[in-house]
Amino acid sequence: MAYDVVVLGSGTGGYPAAIRASQLGFKVAIIEKENLGGVCLNWGCIPTKALLKSAQVYQDILHSKDYGIEASGKADFPAVIKRSRGVSDKMTKGVQFLMKKNKIDVIMGYGKLKAKGQIEVTGADGKTHIVEGKHIIIATGARSRELPNLKQDGKKVIGYREAMTLPEQPKSIIVVGSGAIGVEFAYFYWSMGAKVTIVEFLPRIVPVEDEDISKELEKNYKKYGIEVLTSSEVTSVDTGGNGVKAKVKTPTGEVTLEADVLLSAVGISANIENIGLETLGVKTDKGKITVDKFYQTNVPGFYAIGDCVPGQALAHVSTKEGIICIENIAYNEKKFAHQPEALDYNNVPGCTYCTPEVASAGLTEKQARDAGYEVKVGKFPLSASGKATGVGHNEGFVKVIFDAKYGEWLGTHMIGYNVTELISETVLGRKLETTYHEVLNAIHPHPTISEAVKDAVEAAYGEAIHL
């Protein structure tokens, strides 16, 4: 079983890399120990969006009178979970189809680097065999991170996997961590009727976002009735009773929180243990595999992409890393005409799918000022948007940041209805080195949420029409 390219892991980094390799004329195999599609399709991006859509539909029904409609209904929690799993299964079957279409051999089993050009695969029956590959790409992803004082038992202290498949709706839940995973599940469980408390160690929720975004999301969550404890830390957890008791150190003293379950959403850990890195001397640093800008490790013939290497742990990042990696291999072997461009990690869009949604790209206002820029900042509230008002979701705003000297688009930060669909304009504009003048000269359709981007740019330059 000898191949030009062998990919270890079939997530959003692995399977697109395999497809691109096949397109470029390589003989390709992909090794997967569980389900094609990895975490994103099976336990992350896709099924969580299905859950969140169910939650949003339920909230729309509960507030149907606001739209002049009399409607009623109740949430069927097991049916919501079942729908989410069905969406995931459909996407996984789609990856299976893509593997067949692109003539990629799928090898099921646990892969471990054995020697140069070799991976040992252990099947479900315990039998092992060797798969040979001239180029081996490690795309093993990551898992829910465990803190020493927050050991997950899968029942009362859970990670994101269990949070997607609970057998029944909890009446109350403590969410530890307020990154994308934390705030999305907080919204989902609140929407379905649970009492939700968020505990965040840092001074604000969604801490990687612009400070104004954090304030707006916290304001909305508190309006919902979600309790938010920032600058707070869970010091111990007691699972001895019917539910969970968590002692939390807050700025005003220690409190004890009680709930049915506790969701630990404190980040992820790369899956780099027990895959043979030490055998081959592949270098790692701070729990990640060390790579160059084309994802080559220090050992010739071995590469790594996705959540197991430094950089943003996002599905679209891992996909682009895999394609860059393969195209560079093809370029070196004269199968591809141009060396690929290295990924600009400063222009990666980030999206959080709670309600209101959050989307951003580029520098925050603080980052821009700290970098020495003199900035022009524009903010357009969605309360002034006709489309947002018409759909009944006019909370939030669009905030843009420009360099005052040259008009360079430094960053955009959005919170509101459907804003995750809008951030690509900023990414493309920044990639093309667009200035504020060019944004204002590009017509934005009316009425749309997207025109709020143009309105925010107008506000930055004192030309606002609708404010």
Catalytic positions: 446
Following DSSP, what letter does each residue of 142-165 receive, concatenated? EEE--BTTB---SSSEE-HHHHTS
H or E element in which residue 80 lies:
helix 77-101
**126 within 8 A of 292, measured Cβ to Cβ:** no
SS3 call for 50: helix
Which of 167, 162, 413, 194 has the alpha carbon at shortest distance from 265? 162
Handedness of CA 451, 457, 459, 463 (dihedral sign): negative
Q: What is the radius of gyration, based on Cα positions, of the chain?
A: 24
Alpha-carbon dihedral angle through residues 6, 10, 12, 18, given to the nearest 10 degrees: 30
- Residue among 426, 438, 436 at smallest CA distance from 459: 436
Question: What does the block give as tokens for 258?
Answer: 């009680």
Closest CA to 287 of 169, 440, 142: 142
Q: Which residue has the tokens 């072997």?
A: 333
- Count Cβ atoms below 10 Å from residue 154 Cβ, excluding itself: 9
Q: Give DSSP secondary structure letters for 287-341.
A: TEE---TT-B-SSTTEEE-GGGSSS---HHHHHHHHHHHHHHHHHHTTSSSSPPP
Strands 2-8 and 233-238: unpaired
Query: Are 58 and 75 in contact, with CB atoms under 8 Å apart?
Result: yes
Altogether, the residues listed in the chain come to a count of 467
Distance CA 294, CA 203 (A): 36
Residue bearing tokens 């742990």: 313
